[in-house]
Structure 1
Amino acid sequence: MTVLGSGLVKLVVRVKLLPTREQASVLEATLRACNRAAAYASTVAFEQRTYTRNDLQKLVYAEVKAAFGLSAQPAVRAIKKAVDAYATLRANLAAGNLGTVGSKRWKKATGEPVAFRPEAAQPFDDRCLSWQHDARTVSIWTVEGRLKNLRYTGRTDQLKTLVEHRRGESDLVRVKGKWYLIATCDIPDPEVYEPVDWVGVDRGIVNLATTSDGTNHQGRRLSRYRRWQAKKRAELQKKQTRSSTRRLARRSKKEFRHATHVNHKISKEIVSVAQRTGRGIAVEELGGIRDRVRLRRDQRGTLSSWPFHQLGEHLKYKARRAGVPFLEVDPAYTSQRCVRCGHTEKANRSTRDHFCCRRCGLAGPADHVAGVNVRNRARSAWVLVNVPVPAPRLSNAESREMRPVTVPS
């Protein structure tokens, strides 16, 4: 997961812990105790309508320490975890992500305290967790005291990033019986170079990404994989047995992880080509497309699962890490406009795959034409952004004041 910040690229590095059986038992007890404490703090906050950190801490701090066996700093982190959960809930309600006010989903979200799974992730700050990078071990607070010499491993580039750029908290997570630490790393932005040209990227459903160079990243395999996953889900849901429910739980998010992997591969290749050739990357600004486009019922599921936004975010942060210029341009009529004569007409795109200009006869793949139009718009936009602002004209009096004075030797 990656978040963009001002002047910094925030990367999340996940390293795998290698605990012994005894250490794993202690970590599990710690995670469960912290989540019970957070659930208690959440219940009190809901009943007392107290959602600020200081006020809630005054109410529950002593009880959290005494009842759940937490030290001072872990107790503070558990309370803060509950406060952050309600802040996230308010943000989702304000954004309309939980339905309209009074809807069934809205009532369910606001009618009961925020709950925490027994093994939900738990944040640890530097007072509770220390890293020994040379030995590749960590020392972490637990309910049974400080647990030292807990080994971890990861890829070489991850470990290097961890040593050089780790900042702030680290989250202890258990996923399918395996233990991980997730740390946030702040990496300074590299200097963005002046592009010699642009790589236009047209995103779509049939073709996930088509560049102005003519490179086509097809989405047929991903679409076929999704249809297969949907068929398997339907078969398991139809059975309605305990075994089918367990299988559905194991398959959850598998499709999402596969699509994310595909987007990583595509974005990495595009950024690599742009960096090697000294060009920038331009994409269409597709925000709100689901609200603008009206589709048939059988097409809605395909559009909703279309990972175009994630591909754009991957391109953005990978370009930023590499110092590659990145622009979002107006998407209007990019697949209907002729790149040679500029004639724009819906009939220019006779089929989904084919483009043929009704005025000059230019023909070619529609997605390639759209990528070239995106590139051309990026050229114009970059010139406008980088036009030097003329210096203000000075009056005669101001000019006299700014003339250099010759000092006699």
Structure 2
Amino acid sequence: MKIVVRVKLLPDTGQAPALRATVRAVNEAANRVSAVAFERGVPREFELRKRTYADLKASGLGAQAAQHVIKKVCDAYTVLKANIRAGNLGGPGSKRRVKAESKPVRFQPDSAHPYDDRCLSWQYDAETVSIWTTAGRLKNVRFACSANALTTLRAHRKGESDLVERDGVFYLVATCEVPEAETYEPSGFIGVDLGIVNIATTSTGYRAAGRGLNRHRRRQLELRRKLQAKGTKSAKRLIRRRSRREQRHAANVNHNISKKIVTTAERTGRGIALEDLKGIRDRVRLRKDQRAPLHTWGFHQLGRFIAYKARRAGVPLVYVDPAYTSQQCSRCGHIDRKNRVDQATFACRACGTLLHADDNASHNIDRKGRAMWTAGRESRVPATPKRVSGRRGQPDSRSGFTSKPVRRGGSS
């Protein structure tokens, strides 16, 4: 399983300008290669290398850096084609799709640039790296990360690492190949109901309220409106900075929630059942004031965090159909729209059960998860024995047993 570990670089006053100049240089080179690729109809990597490699070398890039620039451009166009094919940029003739197809892919001056082991080496004990730059190789560049991240790097780092600059701070994002734990046979399942008012509610009684995160999002939305009204360059720069801050805050909340859910499942020997909410934004119809909360709802990110943490811990994970989980009684099974009295209250019209609506939904998801796991696992029924014939050791078409010879006449 691949995960990434991000470490913060701590360059001194002489190393920081070299890193910044390198990031700017490789992204300018990527824009030149992108222009050639767009003009030539996005050729294959080998053909693009023949047309651009000499120019990149002449501009001062090293051999490996030039190769990575060309590959980065090819990967960007591959992603663009995939988005167009999937309809993520609209249908043919849509404004967004026409805009994406009418000009080359552009790379920002501080976009990430990949490094392999020839351009970057790690010294874990000293917590330093040696990295290639356009000004030469920088040695003893210090980095900082948590103890767990350092252990993961030391044991599992494999492949490329990306150098990225964010708000004047440099980071290395390293790829690690972490082995997955063997999935155990669960004794039950924890149903997880995802929502906006309550980010996650489990059938074990844990409820992650979304009040704080929703309040943070509303405050950021009001600040964005004020900054957009100004329209200055500094206001736009601040909008981008605040947007990244909001994303980091939401990701931290989702990490904490997913860690608690997976830890509980691992400790109790149970699996996790999640709703399959793919395409929910296209299926539901909402009022104008409900659109912003729905489109900022981070259920997909939380689901991904739970999934990779569960795989790493060997916790079984299943996805269930979310249909009627909020309308069905978790005790008697009665389904009725009127069972859901309001956002927080569930009152069954058949048996009179009164529960918190999210708790009831989580129990329904738990039940569906157990049913899906039972239906999907391998059969444990013993194999049917081979049929044998009436002769000793030969198949019998009428029975499943080997017949013994029968003596006729005489005494035994």
Superposition TM-score, scaled by structure 1 size? 0.92
Match of 1:176 in 2: 167
SS of the residue corresponding to residue 184 of structure 1 reads strand
Match of 1:325 in 2: 316
1:230-254 Cα offsets, whole Å, 9 max, x none, are 1111112122334433332321222
Match among 218, 221, 241 for residue 212 of structure 2 = 221
1:64-123 Cα offsets, whole Å, 9 max, x none, are 101x20121111111111111111111111112222222221121111111112221110
Matches for 1:41-56 after TM superposition, within 5 Å = 41-56=33-48
| CA distance in 2 between partners of 1:169 and 1:340 (Å) | 52
| CA distance in 1 between partners of 2:85 and 2:274 (Å) | 29
SS of the residue corresponding to residue 252 of structure 1 reads helix
Match of 1:192 in 2: 183
Q: How many residues align?
A: 393
Q: Is the 8 A contact 1:51 1:86 kept in 2?
A: no
Match of 1:314 in 2: 305
Match of 2:269 in 1: 278
Answer yes or no: is 1:89 the counterpart of 2:75: no
1:294-325 Cα offsets, whole Å, 9 max, x none, are 11222111111111111111111111111111
Match of 1:133 in 2: 124
Match of 2:134 in 1: 143
Match of 1:295 in 2: 286
Letter in 2 for 1:199: I
Match of 1:74 in 2: 65
Answer yes or no: is 1:159 the counterpart of 2:150: yes
SS of the residue corresponding to residue 260 of structure 1 reads helix
Q: Which runs of 5+ in 2 are unaligned?
A: 396-412
User: Structure 1 109/391 Cα, relative in aligned 2: closer, same or farther at 3 Å?
Assistant: same
Match among 52, 65, 70 for residue 60 of structure 1 = 52
Match of 1:385 in 2: 376
SS of the residue corresponding to residue 191 of structure 1 reads coil
1:33-54 Cα offsets, whole Å, 9 max, x none, are 2112211111111111133110
- Percent identity, please: 54
Match of 2:339 in 1: 348
Match of 2:408 in 1: none
CA apart distance, 1:338: 1.4
| CA distance in 1 between partners of 2:167 and 2:393 (Å) | 76
Answer yes or no: is 1:35 the counterpart of 2:27: yes
| CA distance in 2 between partners of 1:58 and 1:36 (Å) | 19
Match of 1:18 in 2: 10
CA apart distance, 1:273: 1.3
Letter in 2 for 1:142: T
| CA distance in 2 between partners of 1:217 and 1:57 (Å) | 51
Match of 1:376 in 2: 367
Which stretch of the first structure deviates more once superposed, 160-169 or 296-305?
296-305
Match among 269, 273, 297 for residue 260 of structure 2 = 269
| CA distance in 1 between partners of 2:383 and 2:254 (Å) | 45
SS of the residue corresponding to residue 309 of structure 1 reads helix
SS of the residue corresponding to residue 193 of structure 1 reads coil
Which stretch of the first structure deviates more once superposed, 136-145 or 258-267?
136-145
| CA distance in 1 between partners of 2:49 and 2:394 (Å) | 61
CA apart distance, 1:393: 4.7
1:129-178 Cα offsets, whole Å, 9 max, x none, are 11122222222222222222222221111011001111111111111111
| CA distance in 1 between partners of 2:155 and 2:233 (Å) | 47
| CA distance in 2 between partners of 1:335 and 1:91 (Å) | 35
Letter in 2 for 1:278: G
Match of 2:398 in 1: none
Q: Is the 8 A contact 1:17 1:179 kept in 2?
A: yes
Match of 1:231 in 2: 222
Match of 1:202 in 2: 193
Matches for 1:232-271 after TM superposition, within 5 Å = 232-271=223-262
Q: Is the 8 A contact 1:33 1:69 kept in 2?
A: no
Structure whose alpha-carbon radius of gyration is higher: 2
Match of 1:4 in 2: none
User: Structure 1 151/241 Cα, relative in aligned 2: closer, same or farther at 3 Å?
Assistant: closer
CA apart distance, 1:374: 0.7
Q: Is the 8 A contact 2:68 2:115 kept in 1?
A: yes
Letter in 1 for 2:122: W
Q: Which runs of 5+ in 1 are unaligned?
A: 1-8, 403-409
